[in-house]
Amino acid sequence: MKVLGIETSCDETSIAVLDEKCIVAAETYSQDVHAAYGGVVPEMASRAHLQKIDVLCRSVFDKNGIDPRQLSLIAVTDSPGLAGALLVGIGFALGLHCGYGTAITGINHVEGHICSIFLEYPDIPLPFLALAVSGGHTSIYRVDDFGIYTCLGRTVDDAAGEAFDKIGTMLGFTYPAGRAIEQEAQKAASEQHIAFPVARAGAGQLNFSFSGLKTAVKYFMQGKDSLWIDEHRALICASFQKAIVDALVENMYAATRQTAITAVAVVGGVACNGYLRQRMMAACGPAVFFPSPSLCTDNAAMIAKAGLERGKRNLLRFPHMAPSAEI
Ligand code: KG4
Ligand code: ZN
């Protein structure tokens, strides 16, 4: 069974082909048009997907000798995401579906991120807790099996990756800023920190709030001249990275205590962060799993994996035509 995955929900155009055993082929194009604007410009994202998707798909097929008629299923991200960007992927997938008569399914992007863990850890013990942490999402799920997810907590405002990106822009980093901030933070002396606050949702609550952190860093910087900021950029980065990671780790640790579930998966773009990985392993013990960095950020292999598992269980749904796929 070969599954074609298509992902265009934000600023990555990604195509992958997966079979039961492995990722057969995958290519991802990260749009760079947004860097000058400090964030994703939806209209530009849709146009960039439109320019790239056909080229990328042909490249995946041609370089790997894949005949589209061999595909058993097309899995395409259909929510959540930028409407115009999603429509490019959905339209392309429907074109292939009509042209080749291949079965098709819509996939929830966050379910895709959760499924990224099964690509490299097919035997991850169930149930496990998943922290989906990216530029658009910060949520904790209890995963009882494929397709059986219970949301235990989520951000009430900004996502953690969004906080990295927005504060990064204030500090002069280009979008997306997460990786550059992590690298800058490594230059800081580890024992020093500015105490930036992250709002806590209250005892027993597993929600997050990161919008206040952005404001706290903004006000902190207002009192400083640019020379001071230049000299202390690493300290500022290390401090707000610590504030974000403290909140993520504290809530995940609390979730393991509340549920008595010890296996933890951390997925999504922010899961690339080495400091988060190290702190999460220290707090939550040995059964903490992370995808490889290329499977943490948006990619079509995770969408194909979700499609493959849905196919096996007769859970296919036509893109955007089924009741809300929100998880
Ligand atoms: O999963 P993803 O590619 O897209 C969304 O679904 O949002 O995640 C992108 C996010 C961006 O906010 C980016 O800054 C962040 O992941 N990110 C990182 C790192 N690498 C990517 N954040 C912190 N540290 C990193 N090393
Ligand atoms: Zn994502």
Is the CB of 136 inside a 6 Å radius of any atom of ligand 1?
A: yes
The Cα–Cα gap between 107 and 302 comes to 10
CA of 71 relative to ligand 2 center, distance in Å: 25
User: What pLDDT, in 10s, does the model give residues 254-279?
Assistant: 999 999 999 999 999 999 999 999 99
Cα(60) to centroid(ligand 2), Å: 21
**pLDDT digits over 234-246, tens only?**
999 999 999 999 9
Specify burial of residue 23 (Cβ count, 10 A radius: 0-12, 13-18, 19+).
buried
> Contact, 62 vs 104, CB < 8 A?
no
Query: What is the set of domains in the chain, with CATH numbers?
Result: 3-113+296-312 (3.30.420.40), 126-286 (3.30.420.40)
Residue 322 clears pLDDT 70, i.e. is over it:
no
Sign of CA dihedral 67, 73, 77, 78: positive
For the cut 70, the answer to whether the pLDDT of residue 293 exceeds it is: yes
Q: Establish whether residue 270 lines the binding site of ligand 1, counting it when its CB lies within 6 angstroms of any ligand atom.
A: yes
Residue nearest to atom 14 of ligand 1 (CA): 178
Tokens of 93: 């997938």
**Is 134 touching ligand 1 by the criterion CB < 6 Å?**
yes
Q: What is the DSSP string of 107-155?
A: EEHHHHHHHHHHHH-TTPPSSEEEEEESSS-EEEEEEEETTEEEEEEEB
Stated pTM of the model: 0.96
Distance 292 CA to ligand 2 centre (A): 14
Query: Would you say 130 and 280 are in contact if contact means Cβ atoms under 8 Å apart?
Result: no
Percent of the chain at pLDDT exceeding 70 = 98
Distance (Å) from CA 299 to ligand 2 centroid: 8
Whether the Cβ atoms of residue 131 and residue 306 lie closer than 8 Å to each other: no
**How does pLDDT run across 108-154, given as a tens digit for each residue?**
999 999 999 999 999 999 999 999 999 999 999 999 999 999 999 99
